[in-house]
Structure 1
Amino acid sequence: MLVHLFKLIWNKKRQNFLLMLEMFVSFIVLFVVFTLSVFYYNNYRKQQGFEYEDVWAVNYGLPPGITSKDSINMLVESLRNMISSMPQVEQLSFTGNNIPYSANIFNTSIDYKGKGVISDIYTADTRYAEVLNLTMLSGNWGFKKGERKQRSAVVVNTTLKEVLFGQEEAIGKRVKVDNEELEVTGVVNDFKSKGDYQEPGNGLFRIPDSIDHQAQSMILLKISPDADAAFEAKLYKAVSNFSKNTSVEIEHLSKKREAKNRLTLIPMLILFTVASFLIINVALGLFGVLWYTINRRKPEIGLRRAVGASGTDISGQISGEALVLTTISVLAGCFFAVQFPLLNVFDLPSNVYFAAILLSVTFIYLLVIICSVYPARQAASIYPALALHEE
């Protein structure tokens, strides 16, 4: 029976070519949509890794005309003491402008024993982990008091630790960043700083021996829940008086997270819209082709009923032809989709691609089955006398 159905489809390949092409294109679009959906869903399920609620980011500038590093350090320390004295401020940290959920990205190559990987680089002082409530898995955030500091300290996240050192102990290892030798003093948990739907990726945190405030233009503040707009205005005024003629901006990480997530989901919404139009087009096309085929083949169906074919046989043939059409299109689509995990396109895990292929195949077949049920039932209701009468 199956061979007979393939012969029928092959003999009508010209009539069915456009429908098979639509199914093929729809499969590819569905594969892309499901790939992104599975990837985003897997990332969304992962732990956030840090606390963003009640964390504010203050973008400030140094007063103009001051170039001495000692003078800058004294001024910034006075700013730290002033902000820390506010009762609503629980903790603060000076850091670079690539804070969580920011559009700013700084990455470079990390070298260890000739092995180089690209990693995000963060510059932060020793209070950074306390503000975001990061979990130290081993070691410390910087050197302990009294330790000899021959080089700058860095902390790596779990992902970068596994890439560089595997199962080896990371503490005490020396890595090179832009030809500068740095010593790993701690390993911190992964955290999703680029949004809920993005994977953490490699992360390295530089903790300078002496704070370079010229490279740290942001302040992260852990604020008490009772902080209100009045406190925000007070904070803004205090920082503005310090920065003089430079601009000051205060942002809430919770709002930045929402904006980052919306930005990530926009491409998904566009793809879903395109896929929906294609699926509707395929469904209508398939339904119309089956309906037209049944009306055109009434004499053939009536003859089959006259020689003993049951309604179930007729219904099975119509549905079978639709499934054979789908199988040809899906096999062609799977051939191209399988190339993505084999060639490691976009550097996504292979299980994401295979899950997307499975979901795409399942969706296409379910769509075809649903669209073929009613036409197949109509074909099964054709009786020999009706077919001969119309003939």
Structure 2
Amino acid sequence: MLKHLFKLIWKRKKSNALMMFEIFFSFLILFAVWTLGVYNYHNYAQPAGLETDNVWVAFINFNAPNDTIKMQYKELVDQQMKRYPEVKNFAYTSSNAPFTFSSMNSQFSYQKNKAMSEIMAVGIDFPKVMNMQLSEGRWFNEADQSGKFKPVVITRHFAEELFGKEKAVGKILGDGNEIGPKQTQMQVVGVVDYFRHKDDFQALSNCVFRPSEKWDDTMVMKVQEGSGAELEAKISKELARLGKDWSIEIQQMNNMKDNRNNLVMVPILILMIVCSFLVFNVALGLFGVLFQTISRRKQEIGVRRAMGATRGAILWHFIGETAVIATFGLILGVFFAVQFPLLNVFDVEAGIYFTGILLSVISVYLLVTVCAFYPSRQASMLQPATVLHEE
């Protein structure tokens, strides 16, 4: 049966070659969409490592002439914040607080290994505000800051990149500079497994938490459930009265996270719409080519029916022939697709690429089956006497 199909396909190699290339390009389009979708879903399914419900972010401009006065202003703010029973916990952070559009990176070293990481300055109560859980060690405290080394908490991804399988807690890090007076040494006191602070689709990444500095003027706060605009306006108004020309803006972290998620989702949706349009046009082309091809083979169909072929046999013959043509196009497409995991393109896990390949292959076979079904069914409905009489 297969030998016969190959002969028929080779006899019409020019028209079939066009179908193979259409299927090849359809596979590449589907591979890109499926791989991107699987990649983002894989990241989304990972634990976030923090909670944003009932968390607000206050951006405070103290308008202080120097850091000494700013520290005095911050003490006033601390006293005022403790007067609100609706505020459970609060902590200062650097400008790159979770789900902001700010970023701060630095290089770290351990022995001969070096790695880049996001670095975030946070207050001691930051894990209480964000409901973060440590898998190893503990969070730094006031006593740690007077020690020989600067205390830091790191993510599991960063620990594996810098230390491998070694235990991270207690390790001494450098700031990436050569050994010398300019190098700042830090000691790891804790490890968190997950910390997705950019959007819900962020891959596992490096992040280092260090104690907040005196110039940090962004604040995260955990408020009671149900707190709304009234409390937000009250805090903004009363904090602004503490100093001259202060400006305070408070945003809900859930809204900030939604904005960051939209920056990821909107391009994906646009890509899916464009790719769907392209695949739909390819499907129409396949349908037309198959319909025309089957129409030209009425005499062959009539002879087969006259020799005893059933309607089902005719139907599945043409669907099988189309599937074989699709297989040749898929072989070419899979050859190019497997280069991505082999060459580790975009530093994406190989399993994500192979899942994208599998889903793309299934999608192509479904596509060609749907496109071939109606023309094949029309061919199976032809009566041998009518067809042979026309010929």
TM-score (norm 2): 0.92
Residue 190 (structure 1) aligned to one of 184, 194, 205? 194
Partner of 1:23: 23
Q: How many residues of Structure 1 are paired with residues of Structure 2 in the alignment?
A: 385
Partner of 1:108: 106
Displacement after TM superposition at 1:94 (Å): 0.5
Distance 1:85 1:147 in 2: 27
Partner of 1:137: 135
Tell whether 2:388 aligns with 1:388. yes
Tell whether 2:47 aligns with 1:43. no
| Of 49-58 and 103-112, the range deviating more from structure 2 | 103-112
Partner of 1:57: 57
Distance 1:4 1:104 in 2: 64
Displacement after TM superposition at 1:310 (Å): 3.5
Distance 2:282 2:243 in 1: 61
Partner of 1:10: 10
Distance 1:143 1:239 in 2: 26
- 1:45-66 CA-partner distances (Å, limit 9, x unpaired): 22222121111000111324x2
Displacement after TM superposition at 1:354 (Å): 0.4
Counterparts in 2 of 1:251-262, with a 5 A limit?
251-262=251-262
Partner of 1:355: 355
Displacement after TM superposition at 1:242 (Å): 4.2
Displacement after TM superposition at 1:143 (Å): 4.7
- 1:297-338 CA-partner distances (Å, limit 9, x unpaired): 111221233344343332232112211221111111111110
Partner of 1:123: 121
Contact 2:240 2:246 in 1 (8 A): yes
Query: 3-state DSSP class of the match of 2:174?
Result: strand
The root-mean-square deviation of aligned C-alpha atoms, in Å, is 2.0
Contact 2:105 2:119 in 1 (8 A): yes
Tell whether 2:38 aligns with 1:34. no
Counterparts in 2 of 1:214-233, with a 5 A limit?
214=215, 216-233=216-233
Partner of 2:209: 205
Distance 1:148 1:187 in 2: 21
Tell whether 2:177 aligns with 1:173. no
Query: 3-state DSSP class of the match of 2:120?
Result: strand
Query: 3-state DSSP class of the match of 1:177?
Result: coil
Contact 1:9 1:325 in 2 (8 A): yes
Q: Structure 2, unaligned stretches of length 5 or more?
A: 178-183
Distance 1:87 1:260 in 2: 30
- 1:248-279 CA-partner distances (Å, limit 9, x unpaired): 22110111122222221112101211221122
Query: 3-state DSSP class of the match of 2:61?
Result: coil
Displacement after TM superposition at 1:178 (Å): 4.6
Distance 1:133 1:75 in 2: 27
| Of 38-47 and 136-145, the range deviating more from structure 2 | 136-145
Tell whether 2:358 aligns with 1:364. no
- 1:135-171 CA-partner distances (Å, limit 9, x unpaired): 1222222256388601211111122122222332222
Q: Which amino acid aligns with 2:282?
A: V
* Percent of aligned pairs sharing the same letter: 39
Distance 2:271 2:261 in 1: 16
Distance 1:307 1:243 in 2: 98
Q: 1:242 to 1:7 in 2, by over 3 A?
A: farther
Query: 3-state DSSP class of the match of 2:152?
Result: strand
| Of 48-57 and 274-283, the range deviating more from structure 2 | 274-283
Q: Which amino acid aligns with 1:152?
A: K
Q: 1:82 to 1:148 in 2, by over 3 A?
A: closer
Contact 2:144 2:151 in 1 (8 A): no
Contact 2:76 2:242 in 1 (8 A): no
Query: 3-state DSSP class of the match of 1:80?
Result: helix
Partner of 1:305: 305
Q: 1:324 to 1:243 in 2, by over 3 A?
A: farther
Distance 1:175 1:147 in 2: 15
| Of 146-155 and 119-128, the range deviating more from structure 2 | 146-155
Contact 1:111 1:176 in 2 (8 A): yes
Distance 1:249 1:234 in 2: 12
Distance 1:292 1:205 in 2: 66
Contact 1:143 1:185 in 2 (8 A): no
- 1:214-246 CA-partner distances (Å, limit 9, x unpaired): 2x1310011112423222111111333346335
Partner of 2:327: 327
| Of 319-328 and 237-246, the range deviating more from structure 2 | 237-246
Q: Structure 1, unaligned stretches of length 5 or more?
A: none
